Amino acid sequence: MALSLAACTNEGAPSPSPSVQPSESTAPGASPAGAYRAGTYTASAAGKNGDVTVEVVFTEAAIESVTVTAHQETEGIAEPALERVPKAVVDGQTLAVDAVAGATVTRDAILAAVESCVAKAGGDAAALKTPAAGGEKETVSYEADAVIVGAGAAGMNAALEASQAGLKVLVLEKGATIGVSNAAQAGGPSACETVVQAEEDQTVTVETLFRYMYDYSHSLANAGLLRNVLSVSGETINSMVEAGVGMYLRPDNYGAGFRARHGFEERGDDRFQPVKEKVESLGGQFLLETAGKSVIMENGAAAGVLAERSDGTPVEVRAKAVLICTGGYLGNEAMMAEHFGEVKINPLGNTLSDGAGINMVVEAGGVLDRNWSIIANEFAGANQKGGGWSFSANQNFKYAVYGGLMVNREGERFFNEEVIATMALSEGGEATLREGLYYSVIDQAYFDACREEGIYSYLGSPENWYVGKMTLAAALLDQNEAQLQEAIDQGWACKADTIEEAAAYFGLENLPQTVAEYNAMCEAGEDTRFYKDPTFLTSVSEGPFYVFEYEPSAWGTLGGVKVDSRLRALTAGNEAIPGLYVAGVDAGSMYTAPYYSNEGAALGLAMASGTWAAKEMVQYLAG
């Protein structure tokens, strides 16, 4: 997959949030709620990936300790909340614990469980929720040669390149760790001419990757920019490996014809820790839980960034070169609606990325490019009724990418379903995004086959279904029957004796006619509507019947600021703004819509664009 995230964020659509600090309303060790019933109590509350369980020890006068005893939260993202929230509760004797950027859902779960324990112990939870009053905070000032907003794929590599070139670098990161970005969770980047490829004699040339990606973009991407960024993608990988980042070469799962995609040996904080340590050893600095707010502009040129710590402290960084790379706008529902309509897109990636960086550049005089899209989920469908999607989600989400019969809310086919089975990340994801709400329709034979032998075998192990062969040959939905009732109870699944009954449940008016026409095409072995490969023509004829309601889901967003081939932000008149650079998915001109069809494209371009932007900043500062 292109981004292949293995974990979801712990956020909804956050605004900059304070770090975990004890409340000053009560001295540590004293309870504002009066006496408790001394003892040890346990309780659980729903986190992002499952229940979070705490054990709380009370004396008659205080909360003595809080321990998280069980959780399923995302490694590399939830740790700050898991470590700091219990301590803050005890130190401040309070439930008014501030948010942890990137792990707010985890924080809320811990506090909800502690609140239950307080109630069991006879305490006054309402009193413990009263926050302390805070005063106005003084601005903290810094100076650097270059300030980078965002410690994701682009930001980390820009910091590494710029530091190694001798620049004094300061990196602002909204999250509580460097492990919250999509880059820290994703499967791996696409790149060319790397030491990793050379070790396996699988070198992909810049020409090969450029031709593949630019041809796919149909000139929507900036050709000069794409060529520049790909030209340093190998250098980017090599620098990371040299710094101590473990990487390996992944197989060609999508039939591109070459092995450009790399994998990481680590995930979360550990993935880019060697890069962070290298940057810091060269004099660079990272300010975590510090969100960029605006670009300082003087005489038409970028002169630094105004930011804010999560505790509300204003921060001013003076620098003659500014790089914005905050990871897109997946966490901004208003921006998502502006570009994709009132469609529920279940977020799988980092929702701390809320479009702030894009808006900062526009406010500084930049403009937006026009290639808006998403990096779609290639593993399954999703539905907010079922809690979205994760790798441990209900298996009945999977039929969305198997190429069987799919219909829109009128009960009519709306595209060639083969596309989502072969290119779910790009064209398939785009088709379902256009519909917003879509339905998979299968019969009992299909349902049983997915559990007992797997979809690839059921379709005859087709050699021409390359993605299926590489990713689904051994995949069984061995829990689909056990998990069905949960899906029905949540309202996104229906099991019915007749197609008419299933159609009525979801209001799919034309479904009976669609199924009849589809079955006729399956019997004839020819799709006369959308010309789907006969491999995927499986009839819906043996009841009972199953219908599953799906919504789009996305690892990240595409579309952002218009930049030139040097990653400089452009004005409406196509003039470069001096000192202001944009990289990663904030840079709209580097990507295409639909998303590229080669795996790891978004992450690879983001990482290499950080390297390219740093080189440009070095030249700019040299005069």
pLDDT in tens, 115-138: 999 989 988 888 888 776 667 889
What is the pLDDT at residue 80? 82
Residue with tokens 């494209």: 601
pLDDT tens across 576-600, in order?
A: 999 999 999 999 999 999 999 999 9
What is the model's pLDDT at position 382?
97
pLDDT of 132 reads 67
- CA–CA separation, 333 vs 69, rounded Å? 34
Residues of the chain with pLDDT under 50: 1-33
pLDDT given at position 33: 46
Class of domain 39-128: alpha beta
- Residue 1, token pair as written in the block: 């997959």
Give the pLDDT score at 101: 65
pLDDT at 27: 36
Q: Of 599, 590, 601, 619, whose CA–CA distance to 228 is shortest?
A: 590
Say if strands 301-309 and 290-298 run parallel, antiparallel, or are unpaired: antiparallel
The number of residues in the chain equals 623
Q: Distance between CA atoms of 495 and 592, rounded to whole angstroms?
A: 39
Rounded CA-CA distance 470/464 in Å is: 11
Q: What per-residue confidence (pLDDT) applies to 134?
A: 63
Burial grade of 489 (CB within 10 A; 0-12, 13-18, 19 or more):
exposed
Helix (H) or strand (E) holding 407: strand 406-407
pLDDT for residue 78: 81
Give the residue carrying structure tokens 């030209």. Answer: 231
Is residue 204 classed as helix, strand or coil in its secondary structure?
Answer: coil
From the list 334, 346, 343, the residue with the least C-alpha distance to 389 is 346
Q: Please list the residues that pair with 202 across neighbouring strands.
A: none
Contact 433, 375 (CB under 8 A): no
User: Which of helix, strand or coil describes residue 321?
Assistant: strand
What pLDDT is recorded for position 386?
95
> Which residues lie below 8 Å from residue 68, measured CB to CB, with a gap of 6+?
52, 53, 54, 82, 86, 110
pLDDT at site 597: 95
Place of tokens 């994998």: 263
Burial class (CB in 10 A: 0-12, 13-18, 19+), 299: exposed
Check: CB of residue 540 under 8 Å from CB of residue 441: yes
pLDDT of residue 3: 34
Percent helix, percent strand, percent coil in the chain, to nearest 5: 35, 20, 45
What are the boundaries of each domain within the chain?
39-128, 144-373+559-618, 378-551
Residue with tokens 């929702």: 351
Contact 56/63 with Cβ under 8 angstroms?
yes
Residue 376, both tokens: 């779609």
Residues 257, 216 contacting (CB under 8 angstroms): no
b/e 35-45 (16+ beta carbons within 10 angstroms → b):
ebeeeebebbb
CA distances 324 to 175, 422, 545, 558, 621, Å, are 15, 34, 50, 15, 17
User: CA 417 to CA 509: how far, in whole Å?
Assistant: 20
Q: With beta carbons less than 8 A apart as the criterion, state whether 175 and 72 touch.
A: no
Between helix 601-622 and helix 233-243 the angle, nearest 10°, is 90
Contacts of 192 (CB under 8 A, 6+ apart): 203, 204, 205, 206, 208, 209, 230, 233, 234, 260
The domain defined by 378-551 carries CATH number 3.90.700.10: yes
| Res 34: pLDDT | 57
- Which pair of structure tokens corresponds to residue 319? 């620098």
Burial (0-12, 13-18, 19+ Cβ within 10 Å), 512: middle
261, 188 Cβ separation under 8 angstroms: yes
256 near 247, Cβ under 8 Å?
no
CATH class of residue range 144-373+559-618: alpha beta
Q: Taking the model in full, what pTM does it have?
A: 0.85
At 133 the pLDDT is: 64
Distance CA 120, CA 129 (A): 16
What are the structure tokens assigned to 142, written together?
């810094």
Listed in sequence order, the residues at least 6 apart from 11 whose beta carbon sits closer than 8 Å to its beta carbon are: 102, 103, 104, 105, 331, 350, 351, 352
Report the 10 Å Cβ neighbour count for 307: 23
